[in-house]
Amino acid sequence: MGLEHALGDSAITTTIDSAINWCRKNSVWPMPLGISCCGIEMMAFAMPRFDVSRFGAEVFRFSPRQSDLLIVAGTTTYKMATVVRKIYDQMPDPKWVIAMGACTSSGGMYRTYSVVQGIDQFLPVDVYVGGCPPRPDNLLNALMMIQDKIQRGESRSTPMTVAAERIEKQQLLQIQGINN
């Protein structure tokens, strides 16, 4: 019947997934978590000079319930970790996480008892951004990497979508083909 007949069973699902992912990646709503100095660079990233709205992510939501990208921008202490996790848990699926800056990614220069040595100890992180603090360009780059991940249907937090699973299966088959 029509297009479905012409394309077979599988093509339609892939296309819809891809279309949804295309919509998603161009309307990412970040949840800003500017816990320290990285927050200032994150604000610059939202302002006209660097202009995150070029990537469709200008709608900073201060409610986790309306966001799909968590930007953890700053030193995360053990006391704050519970709060970060709570905010993350309140975000609806699918969701992505950027660990912005050295402190967030690895504890940075705070090698002490009070700072979590990398938020990946309690959160699944999609993209790490280096720098202390990173330049806004660097964060834009991270956003673009998140966009690529969204297009591929990948997220560390959410189980992979059907399309992504299929892509992975295809890649696996290719690799097996090469090996054989």
Partner 1 sequence: MITTVVEKLQEKFSDNILSVKEFRGETTVVVKSEEIVSICMFLRDHEECQFDYCSDICGADAYTPENRFEVIYNLYSISRNHRIRLKVFVDESNLHCPSVTSVWPGAEWPERETYDMIGVIFDGNNDMRRMYMPEDFEYYPLRKDFPMMGIPDSIPLPRK
Judged by the rule CB under 8 A, the positions of this chain that interact with partner 1 are 78-79, 81-82, 85-86, 111-114, 116, 121-124
> With respect to partner 1, which residue has the nearer C-beta, 22 or 78?
78
> With respect to partner 1, which residue has the nearer C-beta, 46 or 116?
116
In the complex, minimum distance from the CB of residue 119 to partner 1, in angstroms, rounded to a whole number: 10
In the complex, minimum distance from the CB of residue 129 to partner 1, in angstroms, rounded to a whole number: 21
> With respect to partner 1, which residue has the nearer C-beta, 81 or 167?
81
> With respect to partner 1, which residue has the nearer C-beta, 114 or 171?
114
- In sequence order, what DSSP letters do the residues of the chain get, joined into one string? -HHHHHHTTHHHHHHHHHHHHHHHHTS--EEEEE-STHHHHHHHHHSTTT-GGGGT-----SSGGG-SEEEEES--BHHHHHHHHHHHHHSPSS-EEEEEHHHHHH-TT--STTB-S-GGGTS--SEEE-SSSPPHHHHHHHHHHHHHHHHHT--SSSPPPHHHHHHHHHHHHHHHHHH-
In the complex, minimum distance from the CB of residue 116 to partner 1, in angstroms, rounded to a whole number: 7
> With respect to partner 1, which residue has the nearer C-beta, 40 or 81?
81
In the complex, minimum distance from the CB of residue 122 to partner 1, in angstroms, rounded to a whole number: 5
d(CA 72, CA 139): 11
In the complex, minimum distance from the CB of residue 69 to partner 1, in angstroms, rounded to a whole number: 19
d(CA 167, CA 10): 12
